[in-house]
Every structure is written in structure tokens, then in C-alpha cells.
Amino acid sequence: MWQQILNKFRRFPAQEKVIRLILQRGFQVNDRSRVVSGEIEIPHAQIAKELGVDRRVVDTTAEAIRSDEELYKIFRNIRSMIFLGEVAPVLALGVIEITPNDAARHGILGNVASAVAKYGLSIRQAVSDDPYFVESPKLTIITDGKIPGDLVKVLMEVEGVKRVTVY
């Protein structure tokens, strides 16, 4: 699905940059062709500045989204979510970052979650990067406590896991 969205803007590299940013940030496009987060309007000039494009590119992209029924259904309903990865250590939560050999491989999340559960840790959050938007996707697991060293060894043995980093 993401590839189909990006394909609609393939001939317009600057607009594709805008689309990627809107998706990555979980912004929406409202019925007035404005980029928003909930009811908060994101100035198109600010988006343009961050991306190094003209503000009119952002305007045109938002208008293209609004005028395309399929795109509008997606972009009016997409939402951002809180990600605990950066603040987990401050909150005394454990962080496991899994780098897969192949992000499209089935079962990595399930096998990692099973291993974590066997060590008596609860998973507070599991976030997997989308390989369409992230060059080196990772799976980040936030646990309710510190990560035992033995668990790292077990996780390295999970099929499809290339690297395990603990914070």
C-alpha cells in the first residue's frame, strides 16, 4: 500500500519528500488541504523549510491528497503515536533494539516477544520500523525492567536476528 502511495508522486520528487514526512510524523491532511496533527495546523512553510522545498510544494501535495479519494481516506485518518524508546531509560524501562537480517521475515517479533516473556519481563511497547520508510529498519521492544545479559544471548539466537542492542 505504501508503495502505491509513493508511486503516485514518483514523478514529483519534492512532493514525494512531503508525503514521506507526513507519513513518518503521522500527520493528517484535513478537508481544507492543510497538514494537521489532530486539530493543530502545521504551517506549510515550516514543513517546506525542514525539507528544503518551496512552500507551494507542500500546498500542492496537500491539495493532491485531498482531491484523491483513496489518499484522502488514508491521510485524514493516519495518527502518530507516542514512542518510549528515547525516554525509556529515564523511566527505568528496558530497551531492546533488534536489527533483523531481513525486515520482511515472518516471526521475528513473535519469537523475540516469547523470549522476553520467558525472562519474566512485560513488554510495554513494541515498535517496528516500516522498511518502506526506514533504510535500516529495527524492532524496538520496551520492557518493564532491565534486560538480563542472558536474554541478549537468547535473542541473538532467534532466527532472523542480525544484532541486538540494549539500552
Could you read off the pLDDT of 109-126 as tens digits, one per residue? 999 999 999 999 999 999
SS3 call for 165: strand
Percent of the chain whose pLDDT exceeds 70: 99
Query: Which domains are delineated in the chain?
Result: 2-75 (no CATH), 94-166 (3.30.70.260)
Q: How far apart are CA 73 and CA 1, in angstroms?
A: 13
For residue 29, pLDDT beyond 90? yes
Residue 75 in contact with residue 29, Cβ under 8 Å? Answer: yes
CA distance 91 to 71: 38
Neighbour-count burial of 18, counting CB atoms closer than 10 A to its CB (0-12 exposed, 13-18 middle, 19+ buried): buried
Q: What is the mean pLDDT of residues 96-103?
A: 95
**All cell numbers assigned to 78:** 493516519
Q: What does the pLDDT read at residue 2?
A: 74
Q: Which amino acid is at 166?
A: V
Q: pLDDT averaged over the chain?
A: 94
**Structural Rg of the chain based on CA atoms:** 19
Residue 6: CA count within 13 A, CB half-sphere: 11
Per-residue confidence (pLDDT) for residue 144, from 0 to 100: 96
pLDDT category of residue 163 using cuts at 50, 70 and 90: very high
Question: What is the pLDDT, as a whole number, of residue 24?
Answer: 87
Q: Which three cell numbers stand for residue 97?
A: 533494539
The pLDDT of residue 152 is 96
Parallel, antiparallel, or unpaired for β 28-29 and 35-37? Answer: antiparallel
Q: What is the mean pLDDT of residues 54-71?
A: 97
Rounded Cα distance, 145 and 114, in Å:
16
Q: Quick one: average pLDDT of 52-81?
A: 96
Q: pLDDT exceeding 90 applies to what percent of the chain?
A: 84
Q: Where would I find the H helices in 8-133?
A: 13-25, 44-51, 55-67, 69-75, 108-118
Which pLDDT band holds residue 3 (cuts at 50, 70, 90)? confident
- Supply the pTM of this predicted model: 0.80
